[in-house]
């Protein structure tokens, strides 16, 4: 290596950009980490997950195979970014920042050593650190003891602040706006990807109109039809909509790393009797789940009651996942809070400030009456008195059997309802 090659430097290019969270809010989050560090006799904490770095710094990173991190010490907070990201980590974050270049493969660890002198105990996110990464940390920081902060950080994120709840409400509005915007596009012969593109564009426009200058990343709009509805994350294709088949629309609006997901089961033109029966049964479970979200409720007890209702409705054999999960700094690219989910093996108690989805999903296999995937997702904020449903979009056959034309005479409506 020649002497004029840079390895680690400060690239504070430009000015800090406006963020939705106040200095007081971001300071509170970092102070929570420092209190935990003091209690557990830890000298510094290294966050390496997207959700951890975003929560404590405001910088929402995409690593593209490169390591990123954030070091919290008793007196300072600094993110470590790849120089290929330029000055954005500095502009976007509530923190100091240093960048490392690709000239040597260990430059990330070189930067880390600069930020952790005399550290004897370092907290890391063990739910994010691979065995290979741990070995690299041990080699880069010989003699340092590593302890886990992943679980503690998850519980810090689980209770949302007032500012976080405002962002999630906005995200939910954008998702509902996108869903409403594409209803008029749904018709026989229209390709799945055309609806998905339109929904994503509607979310993007709504975000920039409300938050000028906000980074648009992570918004997920998916529209599936027929057999493609059997999986929640199936890719959008050029398959064309057919009259009478099940449709599934997902609008997940990502706002500063926070995502509120809206999903709706739809039909084009009409619903067959078997499909309508299954859909209505699943909505019975869904609506009961909405009623059960309240402070003090245990996730496992909610799941048990819904399981019993599934059994009464003969749906249990089609149930493909949990009845809901935590919402917040979560998306297809981020981790969630696995200890807060509506499952029988989850022992968490719902507390005010938690945000959880209600999304019981069914998958009826091909060849059976009503074969398809059925899922409707609503987002709920647990309050002191109960719960607030922030998803503002209608459910069920009265609203979501989409007619391609304005022909709403009594005979067509009769057909629409599966009769």
The residue that leads in pLDDT, 406 or 23, is 23
Mean pLDDT for the stretch of residues 99-115: 88
List the strands of the sheet with 258-268, edge to edge: 220-225, 246-255, 258-268, 401-402
233 among known catalytic residues: yes
pTM of the model: 0.90
Integer Cα distance of 112 and 43 in angstroms:
14
Mean pLDDT computed over 224-238: 90
pLDDT beyond 60 at 1: no
Distance of alpha carbon 208 from alpha carbon 216, whole angstroms = 8
Q: What percent of the chain has pLDDT over 90?
A: 70
Token duo for residue 66: 């490169």
Q: Is the pLDDT of residue 24 over 80?
A: yes
pLDDT digits (tens, 9 = 90+) for 184-202: 999 999 999 999 999 999 9
333 and 50 in contact (C-beta within 8 Å)?
yes
Mean pLDDT, residues 127-134 taken together: 93
**SS3 call for 345:** coil
pLDDT at 412 over 70: no
Residue 410 confidence class, pLDDT cut points 50, 70, 90: very low
Q: Please, which residues have CB within 8 angstroms of residue 186's CB and are 6 or more apart in sequence?
A: 195, 241, 247, 266, 268, 402, 404
| Alpha helices (H) along 269-336 | 273-292, 299-312
374 SS3 class: strand
pLDDT for position 333: 45
16-35 mean pLDDT: 92
Question: Count of residues for the chain?
Answer: 419
pLDDT, averaged across the chain: 89
Of 40, 128, 204, 233, the catalytic one is 233
Residue 100: what pLDDT? 87
pLDDT in tens, 144-157: 999 999 999 999 99
Q: What integer pLDDT is reported at residue 416 of this predicted model?
A: 40
Looking at the predicted structure, is the pLDDT value of residue 2 above 90?
Answer: no
Pick the CATH number of 159-416 from 3.40.640.10, 3.20.20.80, 3.40.50.10490, 3.90.230.10: 3.90.230.10
- Under 8 Å between Cβ of 271 and 418: yes
At 270 the three-state DSSP class reads: coil
Residue 409's pLDDT is what?
A: 43
Q: What is the DSSP string of 97-166?
A: EEEE-SSSTTHHHHHHHHH-TT-SEEEE-TTT--HHHHHHHHHHSTT-EEEE-HHHHHHHHHS--HHHHH
pLDDT tens, residue by residue, 164-183: 999 999 999 999 999 999 99
Mean pLDDT to the nearest integer, 263-281: 95
CATH match of 8-156 with 3.30.70.20: no
Q: Where in the chain are the domains?
A: 8-156, 159-416
Decide: 262 and 179 in contact? Cβ < 8 Å: yes
Which pLDDT value is given to residue 63?
67
204 — alpha (psi -120 to 50), left (phi > 0) or beta? alpha
Helix axes 192-210, 162-182, angle to 10 degrees: 140
**What is the DSSP code string of 46-102?**
EE-SHHHHHHHHS-----TTS--EEEE-SS-EEEEEEGGGTTHHHHHSSSEEEEE-S
Q: How is residue 341 written in tokens?
A: 């989910």
For residue 234, the model assigns a pLDDT of: 87
What CA–CA distance (Å, rounded) separates 404 from 216? 31
- If one compares 341 and 283, the residue with the highest pLDDT of the two is 283
H or E segment to which residue 173 belongs: helix 162-182
* CB 70, CB 93: distance < 8 Å: no
Per-residue model confidence as pLDDT tens digits over 59-73: 888 767 789 999 999
> Residue with structure tokens 């209770």?
159
> With 90 as the cut, is the pLDDT of residue 3 above it?
no
Phi/psi of residue 201, nearest 5 degrees: -65, -40
Beta bridge partners of residue 379, listed in sequence order: 357
Q: Tokens in use for 384?
A: 């002191």
Strand, helix or coil for residue 297 = coil
pLDDT tens track for 281-334: 999 999 999 999 999 999 999 999 999 999 999 999 999 888 998 888 864 445
């Amino acid at each position: 290596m020649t002497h004029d090659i840079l390895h680690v430097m400060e690239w504070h290019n430009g000015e800090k950009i406006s963020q939705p969270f106040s200095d007081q809010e971001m300071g509170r989050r970092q102070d929570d980490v420092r209190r935990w560090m003091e209690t557990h006799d830890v000298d510094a904490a290294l966050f390496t997950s997207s959700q951890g770095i975003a929560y404590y710094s405001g910088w929402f990173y995409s690593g593209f195979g490169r390591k990123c991190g954030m070091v919290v010490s008793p007196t300072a907070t600094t993110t470590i970014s790849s120089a290929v990201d330029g000055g954005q980590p500095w502009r976007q974050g509530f923190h100091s920042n240093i960048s490392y270049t690709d000239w040597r493969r260990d430059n990330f660890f070189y930067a880390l050593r600069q930020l952790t002198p005399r550290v004897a105990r370092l907290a890391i996110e063990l739910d994010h650190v691979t065995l290979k990464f741990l070995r690299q940390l041990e080699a880069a920081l010989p003699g340092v003891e590593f302890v886990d902060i992943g679980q503690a950080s998850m519980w810090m994120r689980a209770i949302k602040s007032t500012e976080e709840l405002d962002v999630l409400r906005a995200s939910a509005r954008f998702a509902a706006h996108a869903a409403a915007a594409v209803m008029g596009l749904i018709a026989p012969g229209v390709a799945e990807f055309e609806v998905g593109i339109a929904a994503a564009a509607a979310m993007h426009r709504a975000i920039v109109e409300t938050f000028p200058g906000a980074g648009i990343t992570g918004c997920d709009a998916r529209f599936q039809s027929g057999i493609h509805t059997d999986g929640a994350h199936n890719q959008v294709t050029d398959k064309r909509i057919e009259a009478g088949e099940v449709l599934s629309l997902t609008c997940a609006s990502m706002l500063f790393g926070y995502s509120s997901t809206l999903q709706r089961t739809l039909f084009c033109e009409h619903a067959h009797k078997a499909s309508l029966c299954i859909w209505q049964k699943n909505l019975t479970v869904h609506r009961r789940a909405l009623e059960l979200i309240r402070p003090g409720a245990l996730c496992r007890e909610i799941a048990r009651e819904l399981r019993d209702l599934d059994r009464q409705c003969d749906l249990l054999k089609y149930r493909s996942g949990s009845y809901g999960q935590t919402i917040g700094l979560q998306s297809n690219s981020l981790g969630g809070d696995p200890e807060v989910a509506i499952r029988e093996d989850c022992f968490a108690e719902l507390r005010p400030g938690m945000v959880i989805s209600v999304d019981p999903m069914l998958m009826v296999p091909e060849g059976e009456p009503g074969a398809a995937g059925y899922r409707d997702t609503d987002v709920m904020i647990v309050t002191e008195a109960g719960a607030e449903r922030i998803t503002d979009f209608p459910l069920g056959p009265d609203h979501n059997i989409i007619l391609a034309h304005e022909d709403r005479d009594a005979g067509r409506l009769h057909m629409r309802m599966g009769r």
